[in-house]
Structure 1
């Protein structure tokens, strides 16, 4: 695991936005497709609905709409963005990147572009990278986007996975501010040994000598993913807080990746953090991978829960296995 050590941030989040497609896929809808029910899904996942992109709508489209929403809500300027980071596992193409498509759409004159592949931890990785790029002086204004169209890589005959996933995007601006920085401390880590428990085949259909299934769709060993996620967050969240010199009582809101309500409940119980101070975006949007954290963050702002001066703990975990956390003081 890597930790950011003894570095004073010079960056803060200055704007946030999100977007979800119009089409809703309810648990009742899924009951007509596979052997499942609302009564079975909700207690096990916390998910009631998820949003699904149209057949001609892709990740770049959702990301562009999230950026537009951010611009509208905060009157944010994109002209002086000098780096675009997009976290996604479902890019429209291997290349050009989604980040390049965003740069073209908004006519941003001079920006580096990069797509990040860290699965459900991607947005937090993006924030941490943006903080590092701005604090180092290499960049001054970084656009961080997390977006997915997981419905396009979901097998809707597999009752164990099709109940989970949805489509969404979230965006945030990270800008230089030496007088009022917002980033407190961050960490990241991985365990490639567990990659076999959550994957999607690509150019290769083998891993560790094993022939993989799925034919390009998501394959998940839910039991193993649950154990890995709970053990990782139970270990790493207290470590992040300790290294930052912050007690759990000083955290106003915990915003973990919204994969499954049972995972979050188990983590909160083990680390002694109250669920009522935890934000969860999957109830009406499903597991949207890299978009769940910005979606929950934006919802919290819109609902008046997150207020200026609050201390937020964001923690993502996902396929790889990857994980990343950041402590942020909300400054807007």
Structure 2
């Protein structure tokens, strides 16, 4: 049975840097629809203290999701040194599709079809597939790619994660300061090398009482037009859910790989806010009866990039493997974890081992 290894990566970080000053003139409302009376500078400072997000990236008005996904994909294909016509699948993770400047989602044609077109791929046997799975979408797309490769149905797959959350946020919601845009991609290949690549994975889907922890809903400002739906995050419920469930899911995935936490070199975890990520990683180590650990094991990009949803993990992987993230690197033949939690609610994790073959 073949194994799934990453042979190339790419990312696109939008040029527009949105600082805290961008929100100083915003009119924020509470979840109950009441106008906040605290000065915006105070609201923003409290937000930064919790999330650590100082900056985030937005695409330009003339850009779209498939544009930034294409750039990340093109870079990954060049990095992989493959003929793009040899790709068997393109799997594209997103949540809102090709969103225009009015916040309207468009899924037809699909994003995977759009990026295939922009890549100029003529191969009719290259299947395009969109993954709609919340913020864990890119990780789940990797799990799907691994399943397809292990089934012998493909040898080369492009896996993209791209999102433009800046276009689906309520201008009156404080949480809009969390969300950002970005794209990341990898090319994965079937390998005959044993015990490398994706060596274990786990997915949980809790869709009962947790279903609407992340949802689309009208503006918090009841005086504003109420037909347009925006991303709405019930932060406290998500925090409690993630802290309770994500560490266990990661440990189960590590256990399934017959490894311990001491065998894991890096944990690339989806980042919605820094406080939650620190808590989840700390809880994970406590499951192994470890109180103190090297915090560099879980790199963070949220401070400067914000929450770019499905793009966070592949972007971080690309930056680290190319030496573009300060004081971060991957060990040769090392083990890393990809893990995410998001809308659904869905949780997933992968243990990935770098191959020894070049």
> SS state of the match for residue 154, structure 1?
coil
Name the TM-score, length of structure 2 as normaliser: 0.83
Contact 2:249/2:348 (CA < 8 Å) preserved in 1? no
Rg larger in structure: 2
In structure 2, the partner of 1:166 is 180
Aligned to 1:134: 149
Aligned residue number for residue 196 of structure 1: 212
Instruction: Tell me if the contact between 1:19 and 1:66 (Cα under 8 Å) persists in the aligned partners.
Output: yes
Aligned to 2:281: 268
- Equivalent positions of 1:15-164 (< 5 A) are 15-34=8-27, 35-36=40-41, 39-92=45-98, 93-108=106-121, 109=123, 110-159=125-174, 161-164=175-178
How far did residue 27 of structure 1 move? 1.7
Structure 1 regions of 5+ residues with no counterpart?
A: 1-7, 203-212
The runs of at least 4 aligned residues of structure 1 exceeding 4 Å deviation read none
* Shift in alpha-carbon separation, 1:57–1:243, aligned structure 2, 3 A: same
Change (3 A) 1:121 1:251: same
Secondary structure of the structure 2 residue equivalent to 1:196: coil
TM-score (normalizing by structure 1): 0.89
Contact kept in structure 2, 1:86 and 1:115, CA below 8 Å = yes
Aligned partners of 1:121 and 1:323 also within 8 Å: yes
Q: Is the contact between residue 17 and residue 69 of structure 1 (CA under 8 Å) also seen in structure 2?
A: yes
CA distance, structure 1, for counterparts of residue 46 and residue 180 of structure 2: 18
Match of 1:320 among 344, 347, 351: 344
Q: Report what 1:283 is aligned to.
A: 303
1:292 pairs with 2:312: yes
Deviation at 1:33, TM superposition (A): 2.8
Q: Could you tell me how far 1:297 is from its partner in structure 2? A: 1.2
TM-align CA RMSD: 1.9
Q: 2 CA distance for matches of 1:107 and 1:228? A: 42
207, 228, 237: which one aligns with 1:215: 228
User: Can you give the 5+ residue segments of structure 2 that lack an aligned partner in the other structure?
Assistant: 28-39, 99-105, 219-225, 286-292
Which residue is 2:191 aligned to?
Answer: 177
CA displacement 1:219-241 (0-9 Å, x = unmatched):
11111111111111122111211
SS in 2 for 1:279: coil
